[in-house]
Amino acid sequence: MINLKVVSPQKVIFEKEVEMAVLPGAEGDFAAMPNHSPFISSLRPGQMVIMSANKVDESFFVSGGLVMLKEKVCEVLVDQIESLSDVNSSNYQQSKTFQELEGNETALGTFEQVVNNPPYK
Amino acid sequence: MPNLKELKNRISSVKSTRKITSAMKMVAASKLRRAQDLAESSRVYADSLSFILSSLAGNTKNSSDLPEILTGRENSKISLLIINSSDRGLCGGFNSNLFRNAKNWISEQQEKGKSVKIITVGKKASSFYKKTDLDVIANFDDLNSNDKQLQVSEEIKYKIMELFENNEIDEVSILFNKFISVITQEPTYQSLIPLSNEEADEEVTDTSNAVFEFEPDKNELLEYLVPRNFLTQIYRSVLESSASEHAARMTSMDNATRNAGDMIDGLTLTYNRTRQAFITKELIEIISGAEAV
């Protein structure tokens, strides 16, 4: 199990033990699992998925951020995070504008592309 | 001899002032608790971010590889000062301490041959600096909710990034009242550009234990991290300043309540004495009148 800690500038959103978390890294999705080599990456807007036993437990939409991965700890610094079911096109649009202001030129894709493209097969 | 009615009115007006100040004190106390909680909960993000930034910057051996926005420009000519004041008054020396401190800092900078620009946060600073001949670039006020505090920090961040890129400023510092305890708040400067030494010192100890892989490469990551770091530093100073404001208001309102109490005691004493004097005087008049008959 790895300790997944999701933090926004305002507060710690949640912290729990998970088997695996799939995150939308700037250069491709990656899975955070125990004993991963120390790793720091920025995130692009997309889905963060918590999985156990090859099943999806929870999915979230993150609007971008940073992740710091250590042996037993995965710290995700997000700008905004929503449970995927709470995301609709208008608040997606908002975070997209946010990203553009940021000068982050990662290809974003439309709302449908992000939501209907889970990072697992 | 003082007028009885006048005294009575004064007592009742001081009493209602005491009610107001004691209510304000209690409001400030509960707001202080909230502000402290917020400052506490935002610390996790800020700490992680500065850890990442320092391991990144520490990993780059040659400081000339680092972007200008991190190390600052050589021969910097123009400094920007962000002043965190409050929106409302009645908080003791909170704002005046800050402004006095800023004045010294500004003349120090000017002696070094730098020109100073100012961004104000809070209504008090904007009305204060309107009267001076300093170059105020922007004002931000109405920081009454947490979301608004974050939003304002965001706006300030864009502003300083833009100004720096257009070569309109070379250095950035924030001035805010650091919350030390409920009775002490201290005007504190923090340098944003160049990145303050405090964090540079941490690098050495922090990076030794873990070697991180970075994705995308360091420079790209830094480009992303630097504005993010500005945001958290500014946001942190805003929160700290708001905790200090409530603490300052709480202590000053506590003092005001106590002073009002003392004043009421004094006035009541005078009132009773005057009343007694009137009675005695009247009695003497009656008796001497009766004797004359």
The whole domain housing A35 covers 2-115
Q: CATH for B25-251?
A: 3.40.1380.10
Q: Tell me if B212 and A38 make a contact (CB, 8 A cut-off).
A: yes
User: What is the average pLDDT across B165-189?
Assistant: 91
Phi, psi angle pair for A103, to nearest 5°:
80, 20
State yes or no: pLDDT of B58 exceeds 80: no
Q: Is residue A120 part of a domain?
A: no
Q: Is residue A121 part of a domain?
A: no
Given B48, B210, B213, which is nearest A75 (Cβ)? B48
State yes or no: pLDDT of B278 exceeds 90: yes
Q: Catalytic pick from B70, B78, B91, B192?
A: B91
State yes or no: pLDDT of A101 exceeds 80: no
Given A9, A68, A103, which is nearest B231 (Cβ)? A9
State yes or no: pLDDT of A107 exceeds 70: no
Which tokens is B152 given? 């304002």
Q: Tell me if A40 and B56 make a contact (CB, 8 A cut-off).
A: yes
Is residue B91 part of the annotated active site? The answer reads yes
**3-class DSSP state of B65:** helix
Q: Is residue A29 part of a domain?
A: yes
Q: Is residue A106 part of a domain?
A: yes
Closest residue of chain B to A64, computed from CA coordinates: B224
Which residue numbers of A have CB closer than 8 Å to B's CBs?
7-12, 25-27, 37-42, 66, 68, 70, 75, 77, 101-104
Which residues of chain A does B48 touch, with a Cβ-Cβ cutoff of 8 Å? Answer: 7, 68, 75, 77
Q: Tell me if B52 and A66 make a contact (CB, 8 A cut-off).
A: yes
Distance between B99 CA and the closest CA of chain A, angstroms: 28
State yes or no: pLDDT of A9 exceeds 80: yes
Which residues of chain B does A10 touch, with a Cβ-Cβ cutoff of 8 Å? Answer: 38, 41-42, 45, 146, 150
Whether A7 and A37 have beta carbons less than 8 Å apart is answered as no
Among A5, A10, A106, most B C-beta atoms within 10 A, so best to mutate, is: A10
pLDDT tens, residue by residue, B26-42: 999 999 999 999 988 88
Note the pLDDT of residue B208. 44
Q: Tell me if B227 and A102 make a contact (CB, 8 A cut-off).
A: yes
Distance between A23 CA and the closest CA of chain B, angstroms: 13
Domain count for chain A, please give it. 1
Q: Which residues pair with A58 in a beta bridge?
A: A50
DSSP B217-248: -HHHHHHHHHHHHHHHHHHHHHHHHHHHHHHH
pLDDT band for position A105 (50/70/90)? very low
Calculate the alpha carbon distances from B83 to B9, B29, B137, B138, B183 in Å.
42, 24, 12, 11, 21
CB contacts < 8 Å between A and B, how many? 75
pLDDT band for position A46 (50/70/90)? confident
